[in-house]
Amino acid sequence: MITKLISGNSGSQIFDLKNESYILNKEIQNVLINNEYKINLPKETIIYNLKGGVFAKHKDLLNFDYISNCKMYHSNFGIRINKTKETIELIEKNSTIAY
Protein backbone atom coordinates (compact mmCIF):
# COMPACT_ATOMS: atom_id res chain seq x y z
CA MET A 1 0.00 0.00 0.00
CA ILE A 2 1.21 3.47 -0.86
CA THR A 3 0.37 6.32 1.52
CA LYS A 4 0.52 9.92 0.31
CA LEU A 5 0.01 13.03 2.42
CA ILE A 6 -2.31 15.74 1.13
CA SER A 7 -0.58 19.11 1.10
CA GLY A 8 -1.90 21.80 3.40
CA ASN A 9 -2.86 21.85 7.04
CA SER A 10 -5.37 18.98 7.08
CA GLY A 11 -2.85 16.19 7.61
CA SER A 12 -5.08 13.86 5.57
CA GLN A 13 -3.73 10.86 3.73
CA ILE A 14 -4.53 9.12 0.45
CA PHE A 15 -4.12 5.35 0.22
CA ASP A 16 -3.34 3.65 -3.07
CA LEU A 17 -2.46 0.25 -4.49
CA LYS A 18 1.08 -0.58 -5.61
CA ASN A 19 0.20 -2.36 -8.86
CA GLU A 20 -2.12 -1.74 -11.82
CA SER A 21 -4.38 -4.77 -11.58
CA TYR A 22 -5.28 -7.57 -9.21
CA ILE A 23 -7.54 -10.64 -9.12
CA LEU A 24 -9.25 -11.38 -5.82
CA ASN A 25 -8.60 -14.84 -4.36
CA LYS A 26 -11.24 -14.34 -1.67
CA GLU A 27 -14.43 -12.31 -1.27
CA ILE A 28 -14.05 -8.87 0.31
CA GLN A 29 -17.02 -7.62 2.32
CA ASN A 30 -18.40 -4.14 3.01
CA VAL A 31 -16.60 -2.21 0.28
CA LEU A 32 -17.92 1.34 0.00
CA ILE A 33 -18.96 2.65 -3.42
CA ASN A 34 -20.31 6.07 -4.33
CA ASN A 35 -19.85 7.09 -0.65
CA GLU A 36 -23.18 5.46 0.24
CA TYR A 37 -23.47 1.77 -0.72
CA LYS A 38 -21.62 -1.16 0.83
CA ILE A 39 -21.17 -4.19 -1.39
CA ASN A 40 -19.24 -7.44 -1.31
CA LEU A 41 -16.64 -7.99 -4.00
CA PRO A 42 -16.82 -11.66 -5.06
CA LYS A 43 -13.87 -13.97 -5.53
CA GLU A 44 -12.23 -13.52 -8.98
CA THR A 45 -13.18 -9.84 -9.17
CA ILE A 46 -10.67 -7.93 -11.28
CA ILE A 47 -9.38 -4.78 -9.58
CA TYR A 48 -8.03 -1.99 -11.80
CA ASN A 49 -5.86 0.70 -10.23
CA LEU A 50 -6.17 3.62 -12.66
CA LYS A 51 -5.47 7.35 -12.44
CA GLY A 52 -9.23 7.93 -12.23
CA GLY A 53 -9.59 5.64 -9.21
CA VAL A 54 -9.81 1.99 -8.23
CA PHE A 55 -12.38 -0.04 -10.18
CA ALA A 56 -13.83 -3.51 -9.57
CA LYS A 57 -15.19 -5.66 -12.41
CA HIS A 58 -17.13 -8.91 -12.01
CA LYS A 59 -20.24 -10.20 -13.77
CA ASP A 60 -22.11 -10.61 -10.47
CA LEU A 61 -21.72 -6.92 -9.65
CA LEU A 62 -24.03 -6.01 -12.54
CA ASN A 63 -26.97 -7.71 -10.79
CA PHE A 64 -27.42 -4.75 -8.46
CA ASP A 65 -29.80 -2.07 -9.78
CA TYR A 66 -27.93 0.82 -8.18
CA ILE A 67 -24.65 -0.12 -9.89
CA SER A 68 -25.95 -0.03 -13.45
CA ASN A 69 -27.38 3.45 -12.81
CA CYS A 70 -24.41 4.65 -10.77
CA LYS A 71 -22.30 7.58 -12.00
CA MET A 72 -19.20 5.71 -10.88
CA TYR A 73 -19.74 2.81 -13.33
CA HIS A 74 -17.43 2.41 -16.33
CA SER A 75 -18.37 -0.12 -19.02
CA ASN A 76 -14.78 -1.39 -19.46
CA PHE A 77 -13.50 -1.30 -15.88
CA GLY A 78 -16.59 -1.79 -13.70
CA ILE A 79 -17.61 0.13 -10.61
CA ARG A 80 -15.39 2.69 -8.91
CA ILE A 81 -14.79 1.88 -5.27
CA ASN A 82 -13.77 4.20 -2.46
CA LYS A 83 -10.07 3.97 -1.57
CA THR A 84 -10.28 3.53 2.18
CA LYS A 85 -7.28 2.22 4.07
CA GLU A 86 -9.16 -0.96 5.04
CA THR A 87 -10.27 -1.70 1.47
CA ILE A 88 -6.79 -1.17 0.00
CA GLU A 89 -5.25 -3.43 2.66
CA LEU A 90 -7.84 -6.16 2.03
CA ILE A 91 -7.31 -6.03 -1.74
CA GLU A 92 -3.56 -6.42 -1.38
CA LYS A 93 -3.92 -9.19 1.23
CA ASN A 94 -6.58 -11.24 -0.61
CA SER A 95 -5.45 -11.00 -4.25
CA THR A 96 -2.74 -11.78 -6.74
CA ILE A 97 -1.24 -9.35 -9.21
CA ALA A 98 -2.95 -9.84 -12.57
CA TYR A 99 -0.30 -8.37 -14.89
Count of alpha carbons within 13 angstroms of residue 22, beta-carbon side: 25
pLDDT for position 65: 60
Question: Is the pTM above the cut of 0.85?
Answer: no
pLDDT for position 30: 93
pLDDT for position 31: 93
Distance CA 66, CA 87 (A): 20
**Phi, then psi, of 91 in degrees rounded to 5:** -65, -45
Task: List own/partner pairs for 72-77 with CB under 8 A and 24 or more apart.
Answer: 72/33, 72/34, 77/48, 77/50
pLDDT in 10s for each residue of the chain, 99 residues: 677 666 666 667 788 898 999 999 999 999 988 788 888 999 999 999 998 889 999 988 876 665 555 666 777 888 889 988 999 999 999 999 987
Domain ranges of the chain: 19-97
pLDDT for position 34: 77
